[in-house]
Amino acid sequence: MPRFDSVPAVRERLHDVNYLADEGIAGVVYLADRLQKPILVEGPAGTGKTQLAKSIAEITGARLIRLQCYEGLDESKALFEWNYKKQLLRIQAERNSVDWREVEDDIFSEEFLLTRPLLEAIRAEDPVVLLIDEVDRVEVETEALLLEILSDYQVSIPELGTIVATQIPLVFLTSNNTRELSEALKRRCLYLHVDYPDLEREKEIVLTKVEGVSENLADQIARIVRSIRSLDLKKAPSVSETLDWARTLVLLGIDSIDEKLATETLHILLKYQSDIQKAQKELSVDGARS
């Protein structure tokens, strides 16, 4: 059964949980639901990729199952593994059994299976949103684990056979573009690029997310952050860091930002000293112009 009636409905319902989606984001989510296809969400860190999956789970009432990817992630952490300690105890208990095949069939049964996020999402009977976060962090070989799930929504376990999904989860894969993903993975997904918001949208995000911020302050924050992002930085400020800066300024009782205040609070926005120094120069130039 479809989760959404239309693209505007997706956008409106996301807005209800303070996720300000544009038509592009809402359109891809709508199509993914109707076509039962995963969504590959790429873009800079901190632009709301993970939050999109969380917000979709919230508005649909689905359970969020998250697989956080990292270098070295393997099948035992992503898909399933056998409870070896419990198997060993059963083998010891049945060591006098004359029928080893019966023991072997017993220890490779559901009772000894430890499900991990991917298998849990496939086996779930309730509505599920599966978030495969930062998929670009895993090795290319590990991507092969995902292909069967993303194309057929099923998992093959040699000892148990093929487990087919009883309901189709809505799947989000996020990537920060730290490496190129395989063509096989990309073919199975709808593609969505989430970039930094434009000036007006970032201002609206600040007004929506930060309690007590004035329109004047939100406008100044959005303009300064946009100016800083145009610099050659090691790490541009994310939307979440923009919100942290806005909350800091509200706590300080600030309604108008001058060069001195901006310079003193740049460490909230930027995480490298070289970036802070570049931003300080940019702010001093802007201050001299004004």
At which of 164, 193, 222 does a domain end?
A: 193
Residue appearing with tokens 């573009």: 177
Dist CA 123 CA 163 (whole Å): 7
The DSSP letter of residue 175 is: E
Let me know how many helices (H) and strands (E) the chain has, helices first: 15, 9
Residue appearing with tokens 């919100």: 243
Both 22 and 162 in one domain: the answer is yes
List of E strands, the chain:
39-42, 63-68, 80-82, 113-115, 128-133, 154-157, 161-164, 170-175, 190-193
Dist CA 153 CA 137 (whole Å): 22
Both 36 and 127 in one domain: the answer is yes
Q: How many CB atoms lie within 10 A of CB 6?
A: 11
Task: Provide the domain limits for residue 262.
Answer: 199-284
226 in any annotated domain: yes
Both 142 and 49 in one domain: the answer is yes
For the chain, which residues score pLDDT lower than 50?
A: 288, 290
Give the pair of three-digit tokens for residue 214: 């004035």
The per-residue pLDDT for 102 is: 67
261 in any annotated domain: yes
75 in any annotated domain: no
Question: Under a CB-based contact definition with an 8 Å cutoff, are residues 133 and 171 in contact?
Answer: no
The per-residue pLDDT for 98 is: 56
* Among 86, 69, 78, CA closest to 121: 78
Number of structural domains (the chain) is: 3
The per-residue pLDDT for 105 is: 65
The per-residue pLDDT for 100 is: 60
Both 35 and 134 in one domain: the answer is yes
Cα torsion 71, 75, 79, 80: sign: negative
Both 50 and 105 in one domain: the answer is no
List of E strands, 50-181:
63-68, 80-82, 113-115, 128-133, 154-157, 161-164, 170-175
The per-residue pLDDT for 285 is: 65
DSSP-derived 3-state class of residue 68: strand
List of E strands, 35-177:
39-42, 63-68, 80-82, 113-115, 128-133, 154-157, 161-164, 170-175
Dist CA 90 CA 84 (whole Å): 10
1 in any annotated domain: no
- SS3 breakdown of the chain: % helix, strand, coil, rounded to 5? 55, 15, 35
- pTM equals 0.85
Both 63 and 166 in one domain: the answer is yes
What is the percent of the chain where pLDDT is above 90?
66
The per-residue pLDDT for 288 is: 43
Both 181 and 223 in one domain: the answer is no
228 in any annotated domain: yes
